[in-house]
Amino acid sequence: MKNYWVKSGILSLLEKFSIQGFALVIVMMLYRLLSKDQVGVWVMFLGIASIIEVARIGLLQNALVKFLTSASDEDYPKIVTASVVINILFTVLTVGFLLFCSSFIAAHYNEPELEMLLKIYALTNIALIPFFQFNYIQQANLDFKGIFYAAFARQCFFFLVVGWLFLTAETTNLKFLAIGYIVASVIGSIVGYIYCKPFLKFSKLIDKVWVKKLLGFGVFVFGTNLLTQIYKNTDKFILGSLPGGMVAVAIYEAAIKITNLTDIPTLSMASILFPQSSRTADGKDGNAGVKELYEMAVAAIMAFMIPTIIIILLFAEIFITILAGAEFIEAANILRITILFGLFIPYAVQFGTVVDSIGRPITNFCFTIFNLVLLIVIDYFFIKWYGLIGAAYGTLLTYGITFVIMQVYLYRELNVDVTKTITNIPFFYKKGFELIKNKGKMVETTPTLQVDLTEPSSIEK
């Protein structure tokens, strides 16, 4: 039987690569299709949309996966139904927010088109109810294939819309792009249903106990994800408030978009680490097993991250020119700073995953509040002092400070040895060379990690 981590990791990586790959090509076309101001408006719209989507993920995903992975035959349909109810309630609230607050947001940035985009996104938000629900149910059943195909279908359709505009129009209307976003979400939901259908079981009645239990766990992860996504967009939100801010946002986003590619292995590892870490925390290995999972997971990511960062540092101008064109070349020096975020993000993301998996979402939430407040203060002054590049310097400094604090906490609570996230890197290079040498076939070796990494059995229903 194939190793769980290899199979799940490949599917999860394919999902993230499909999302980021399509997003990257779409951005390349939009930078050449839209004006700088339009690019800035679209970036701000996507930033707000991402906050809503990631908040939904926090409210539903971890709670559903945690409880569904060990659910009995009787509880399984009750949990699924309770999760759907929470999903719908969340959507109602966010649709209300979009309809009533979009005018105030647009007025703040003095961009009328932003109001139109946010109101259209209210419909997209409704279309995403089944899309995300199907993804979480499949993840809980350790089936990542449908998640990949649903994400691929969603991104592929929107890519085709932008590609058609790029080839046939000199410019475009942002409203048309927003409508394409809705249709793409519907297509993704349909594909998700096809693959999730075998795992769908609902109860006839809503179990209030399970609704409360899912909310009790998910509300703090929701808050954490909400604040984390605000954290990731704070620099752009502050830049957008300045005179000519949308142009500054467009330039800054060129660097951030390349930097975000380094998130792929981090997020892929997080999606497969959480269910495995939850099982380990509840099993005989306990916190000792979670500690080793964290050390190995971060080492695996850093094995990829370090050479990637070096390459981008050396050829920043080339990457910016390919992505956005020569007129955005000033973003190259910003990229040389933002790419260094990749030295800290893996630790931060896996910190949140591990803390949630051992049942301490409140702790993760408190850390996130602190990090956000710190970033807002530092970024505000750095942008005021240094302008556009100050956003990059301020964010990097914040990552460095929070890295130290998180590692101190993990050492005290789980005895995590941060040096092992570096010393374990050669193990993954060795495995990579073995894969190449043996033409993709895994060779059995004894890994440093001393927890069960064999494929867990799927849930019996």
Tens digits of residue pLDDT in 251-291: 999 999 888 877 766 655 555 544 454 455 444 455 677 78
Residue 183 lies in a domain: yes
Residue 458 lies in a domain: no
Range with the largest mean pLDDT of 9-13, 176-180, 298-302, 436-440: 176-180
Q: What is the largest CA-CA distance in the chain?
A: 62
* Confidence grade of residue 427 (pLDDT, cut at 50, 70, 90): confident
Identity of the amino acid at 372: L
CA distance 410 to 414: 5
Residue 89 lies in a domain: yes
Q: What is the mean pLDDT of residues 240-261?
A: 88
Contact call for residues 303 and 428 (beta carbons, < 8 A): yes
Range with the largest mean pLDDT of 281-290, 293-302, 416-425: 416-425
How many independent structural domains does the chain possess?
Answer: 1
* Confidence grade of residue 224 (pLDDT, cut at 50, 70, 90): confident
Is it the case that residue 432 has pLDDT exceeding 80?
no
Residue 256 lies in a domain: yes
* Confidence grade of residue 85 (pLDDT, cut at 50, 70, 90): very high
CA distance 75 to 116: 43
CA distance 265 to 456: 22
As given in the structure block, the two tokens for residue 304 are 């990829």
Residue 446 lies in a domain: no
Looking at residue 265, what is its pLDDT?
62
Looking at residue 447, what is its pLDDT?
44
Please state, in angstroms and as integers, the Cα–Cα distance from residue 263 to each residue in 268, 339, 340, following that order: 8, 11, 12
Looking at residue 286, what is its pLDDT?
56
Mean predicted lDDT score pLDDT of the chain: 83
> Could you list the residue range(s) of the whole structural domain that residue 239 is in?
4-437
Residue 418 lies in a domain: yes
Looking at residue 344, what is its pLDDT?
92
Is it the case that residue 117 has pLDDT exceeding 90?
yes
Residue 59 lies in a domain: yes
Is it the case that residue 42 has pLDDT exceeding 90?
yes
Residue 177 lies in a domain: yes
